[in-house]
A and B are shown apart, each in its own frame.
Chain A
Amino acid sequence: MYAMPQPVRRSSTAQTMSTSEKTRIVGTAVPRKEGVDKLLGRARYLDDIEREGMWYGATVRSSIPRGLIRSIGFDRRIDWTEFTVVTVADIPGRNHIQLINADQPVLADGMVNHCEEAIVLLAHPDKHKLREAVDAVNVEYEPLMPVLTIEESERQETIVWGADNILKSFLLEKGDVDAAWAQAAHIVEGEYRTGAQEHLYIENNGVIAEWSEGNGITVWGSLQCPYYVHKSLLAVLDLPEDKVRAIQTETGGAFGGKEDYPSTLASHAALLAMKSGHVVKMTYDRMEDLAATTKRHPSRVRHRTALDGDGKLLAMDIEVATDGGAYTTLSSTVLSRATLHSPGPYVCPNVRVSSKAWATNTVPYGAFRGFGAPQAIFAIERHMDEIAAAIGMDPVEVRRRNFLHDGDTTATEQVMREPVILDKLLDRALTESDYYERQKRFAQENQTRAVKRGLGIAAFYHGAGFTGSGERYLNSLAGIDVTPEGRVRVLVANTEFGQGTNTILSQIAAESIGIDYDDVEMAPVDTNVVPNSGPTVASRTSMVVGKLIERAGLQLVGTLRERAGLREEFTREEFFAACERLREEDGAVISLCRYEAPAGIFWDDQKYRGEAYPAFAWSVQVAQVAVDTTTYSAEVEEFWSVQEVGRVLHPVLAGGQIEGGIAQGIGYALYEKVVWKDGRMANNQMTNYIMPTAEDVPPIHVYFEEIPCRFGGFGAKGIGELPHDGPAPAILNGIRDAIGVGFNAIPLLPEDLFAQLVTQESKAEVSAV
């Protein structure tokens, strides 16, 4: 466990001012910190690590969605003495993963609640012997009726979780929705659905665990949140804090998929390591990773909206339902974000959002880039176009008339204190995409062509950082130290998995201290070395952790000035000399900062009211879509994304985040379908779960409007999740623009387009008769 060192005494001159105006390093395209290692192929991902005498682990999983375990048999054809076998009886501590609710067993205890639930763990020195052994464990079940959809769960005829199948519910109310209908000039209703989405990081989940009496358990893993893993291992193995250590290895993509799941996998590997006495590696192959690990929550959102004669919103009545799967994992916080993003970036005096996460007997859904927001934004942004059609107004104009501005309040009565520049973002998006000119041209061309083109728009915000009081509870600690070898290290538990954590935090440290980027490196993400600066989720790294590092840098320089004779202006040599003088006195050179909630921020968890997020990132996206009415295929031809994410810390990385998120959003809309068969993912291969390739992703144009945010590191807000929120509604709005038919569910594959268009045609024929 990280032992808190004596922090540098707070210095009076170490003001936490933002030095965001003129910067040398922040805002420039310095090379990615770990870039050279990645390009040379020498970055060490989990599966690249071999240890002397290492064993391999595998998992026996449930083949049914719900039932009682009658017996577990071990086929005699296997010599089981060669294996280490772990069942629930071998768990020394609690049989529960420690997330929001501790309801998810590490290993099934007498009952399974979803397909692929782990029942037995096996380890053997030869990994090739494991597959046959897994097949030779015979689990007999007494099947129980499963609940597989939101609707089945809502019926509450079969209760599979708690007293009522409800994992979590929220009610958000502003004004008086019920009184508004009578005054409405228009009332528009709609129902919108989104499917599960797989993260499809190219590196599958993997962990190595090592046990020794003296050191306890150490796990290395491809993971986002080492302190989440740490917390679960403490409970599952019943160990004291100093006997549990979690270390992140180079991580080949995560997108939320390595937020909660590694706690389960690490527990499994740790149990095998403890019982076998060997180092144990567990890596999933693609099929196991797709079938057994978390995905994006499917959703159903219903809107009922009242508008006045000018197209201004009078009331929004919104019902959000998500499928949470068999256990809570992060469903409550995902639902919270969905709730808070469901009214969109609009002003409305009367809002009610009633939301529920329903338990079903599927693999638990978990965190995925956007965390509930893409689902909610798909619904509201598709709904805005249906509103526009219903009242006969341009979808652009409906949005413009209802946009939030400075001083307005959101559905939670949060006052927009920071500048809101939605109009500017919208104008830029229209100009850059030559929106109206193109639309005019398409309308003409579409009359005579089988391939019909259209443009679709989406406007949205994404709350940066944890929701509500989340950051206050997290109470993150982060900092900077200087080693005797003259290296400045950033001390955070925040992980790099492609988004650029290492680079931007090093930039911030170098900038705030006033040294070179090359003098800064990241301390290893090891719970014995770095403090708990919170999880790497919720677009919080650049904003929240970045601010802590900015403060830590200023604090360090302040202390060096006060106590080690550092002059106002200093050279690199003078800086390190001063560090050595401080080291002589204190024994170490370290500057830690703890999160401080911005003043005047208030959130009421009970009433669901107040400042939902310290800051919002804003975006307007435009999709140009082509629908081939002979093959029923839809394709995105070009994409524009304009956003305000505070200060852009690194133009290349920021652009890459936006483009990567858009590509995933395009997949979410048009390609990526999880096919279910009796509660199990049937297409758990890359051959049949299809993501966009280099040939599918269209030209993407990215533009930033920068307004430094006072809460963020050098003015940055969150960026990573925002771009995934908009593509799906923008694309489906584009399809509506192209062919005049609104589709309300994603993924929208050619067969879905075909099904709805053909039904509509036949309906039209019937009514024409």
Chain B
Amino acid sequence: MSEHLANSSAGISFIVNGEKRTVAAHGMKRLLDVLREDLHLTGTKEGCGEGECGSCSVRMNGELVNSCLVPVLQAEGATIETVEGLGRAEALHPIQKAFLECGGAQCGICTPGMLMATAQLLAVNPHPTIGEIREGLAGNLCRCTGFKRIFDSVAAVVVEMDATAKTGGAHAG
């Protein structure tokens, strides 16, 4: 990486949850910290800082990444989605609704990452089998649920999204 980029104070720009943001941060600062500290998007969590737990998962250019492993300079020009962009209190995203109803969140600390992993999984594969759900979420650790109700939640989203598609309704994301 060039000295210029690493010490960039001119700013690194990217789109977060549909909004263009520019931050003046060291290029090697972790995307996780930029989201949490510079942009105050604290929904994205740190569980391990070494790419193992997935609680820092965000979507970047349509891929799921562990934001604790991404130096922010790699996010220059990228499109990033975090939990804050998923839904609102008055209009939960179908994934959030399903996790709420099916018991997919207990302590909630893995939840933002799990929701983003689910969004990624369903974007790539709208009708995953249970095996594909397990595989798709294998990078996201949950210590509370034993995963079963997380799988149930994902399955419920699929049903809900199919029903909406049939009735002609549209869902974001």
Q: Which residues of A contact B (CB under 8 A)?
A: 29, 31-32, 34-45, 47-48, 50, 199-204, 250-255, 285-286, 497-500, 652-653, 655-656, 659-664, 685-687, 691, 693-695, 697, 699-700
Known: A34-B108, A663-B145. 5 other contacts (CB 8 A): A41-B84, A202-B45, A253-B107, A693-B139, A695-B134
* CB-CB contacts below 8 Å: B6-51 with A: 36-37, 41-50
> Bound state CA distance, A252 and B142, in angstroms?
10
- Contact partner of B109 (CB less than 8 A), chosen from A40, A253, A660, A697, is A253
Q: Which chain A residue shows the least CB distance to B150? A: A694
Inter-chain contact A686/B148, CB cutoff 8 Å: no
Q: Which chain B residue shows the least CB distance to A45? A: B109
Inter-chain contact A656/B141, CB cutoff 8 Å: no
Inter-chain contact B103/A202, CB cutoff 8 Å: no
Counting CB contacts under 8 A, is B55 at the interface?
A: yes
Inter-chain contact A659/B96, CB cutoff 8 Å: no
Inter-chain contact B53/A686, CB cutoff 8 Å: yes
- Contact partner of A686 (CB less than 8 A), chosen from B50, B108, B135, is B50
Contact partners of B89 in chain A: CB under 8 A? 36, 40
Contact partners of A652 in chain B: CB under 8 A? 102-103, 149
A660 and B49 contact, Cβ closer than 8 Å, known pairs A40-B89, A694-B137: no
Contact partners of A44 in chain B: CB under 8 A? 42
Counting CB contacts under 8 A, is B143 at the interface?
A: yes
* CB-CB contacts below 8 Å: B49-107 with A: 49-50, 52-53, 55, 82-84, 86-89, 92, 96, 99-103, 105-107
Counting CB contacts under 8 A, is B119 at the interface?
A: no
> Bound state CA distance, A224 and B169, in angstroms?
44
Inter-chain contact A35/B100, CB cutoff 8 Å: yes
Counting CB contacts under 8 A, is B146 at the interface?
A: yes
> Bound state CA distance, A112 and B42, in angstroms?
38
A-B contact pairs, 6 of them (CB 8 A): A39-B92, A39-B115, A42-B43, A47-B45, A655-B148, A656-B148
Inter-chain contact B43/A498, CB cutoff 8 Å: no
> Bound state CA distance, A286 and B144, in angstroms?
17
Contact partners of B138 in chain A: CB under 8 A? 693-695
> Bound state CA distance, A172 and B146, in angstroms?
36
* CB-CB contacts below 8 Å: B134-173 with A: 134-135, 137-151
Inter-chain contact B100/A31, CB cutoff 8 Å: yes
Contact partners of B53 in chain A: CB under 8 A? 202, 686
Inter-chain contact A285/B99, CB cutoff 8 Å: no
A691 and B105 contact, Cβ closer than 8 Å, known pairs A202-B47, A286-B47: no
> Bound state CA distance, A199 and B143, in angstroms?
9
Q: A40 to chain B: closest CB distance in Å?
A: 6
Inter-chain contact A202/B146, CB cutoff 8 Å: no
Inter-chain contact A693/B141, CB cutoff 8 Å: yes
A201 and B107 contact, Cβ closer than 8 Å, known pairs A39-B96, A40-B83, A655-B149: yes
Interface centre among A44, A50, A499, A695 (most CB of B within 10 A): A695
Inter-chain contact B52/A686, CB cutoff 8 Å: yes
Inter-chain contact B105/A38, CB cutoff 8 Å: yes
> Bound state CA distance, A730 and B106, in angstroms?
26
Interface centre among A37, A252, A685 (most CB of B within 10 A): A252
Q: Which chain A residue shows the least CB distance to B87? A: A40
> Bound state CA distance, A153 and B106, in angstroms?
40
- Contact partner of B147 (CB less than 8 A), chosen from A48, A500, A661, A694, is A694
Inter-chain contact B146/A663, CB cutoff 8 Å: yes
Contact partners of A43 in chain B: CB under 8 A? 108
Inter-chain contact A202/B106, CB cutoff 8 Å: no
Counting CB contacts under 8 A, is B111 at the interface?
A: yes
Contact partners of B141 in chain A: CB under 8 A? 202, 686, 691, 693
> Bound state CA distance, A686 and B115, in angstroms?
21
Inter-chain contact B84/A40, CB cutoff 8 Å: yes
> Bound state CA distance, A653 and B104, in angstroms?
10
Q: Which chain B residue shows the least CB distance to A658? A: B146
Contact partners of B44 in chain A: CB under 8 A? 41
Q: Which chain A residue shows the least CB distance to B83? A: A41
A497 and B140 contact, Cβ closer than 8 Å, known pairs A42-B43, A47-B46, A286-B49: no
- Contact partner of A687 (CB less than 8 A), chosen from B50, B84, B110, B133, is B50
> Bound state CA distance, A699 and B146, in angstroms?
10
> Bound state CA distance, A691 and B142, in angstroms?
9
Contact partners of B47 in chain A: CB under 8 A? 202-204, 286, 686
Inter-chain contact B92/A36, CB cutoff 8 Å: yes
Q: Which chain B residue shows the least CB distance to A252? A: B109
Interface centre among B55, B109, B150 (most CB of A within 10 A): B109
Inter-chain contact A498/B134, CB cutoff 8 Å: no
- Contact partner of B43 (CB less than 8 A), chosen from A41, A253, A694, is A41
Contact partners of A697 in chain B: CB under 8 A? 146-148
Q: Which chain B residue shows the least CB distance to A498? A: B107
> Bound state CA distance, A45 and B150, in angstroms?
21
Interface centre among A40, A42, A50, A697 (most CB of B within 10 A): A40
Contact partners of A50 in chain B: CB under 8 A? 37
A659 and B149 contact, Cβ closer than 8 Å, known pairs A39-B92, A40-B84, A41-B82: yes
Contact partners of B145 in chain A: CB under 8 A? 656, 659-660, 663
A32 and B137 contact, Cβ closer than 8 Å, known pairs A41-B83, A286-B47: no
Q: B135 to chain A: closest CB distance in Å?
A: 6
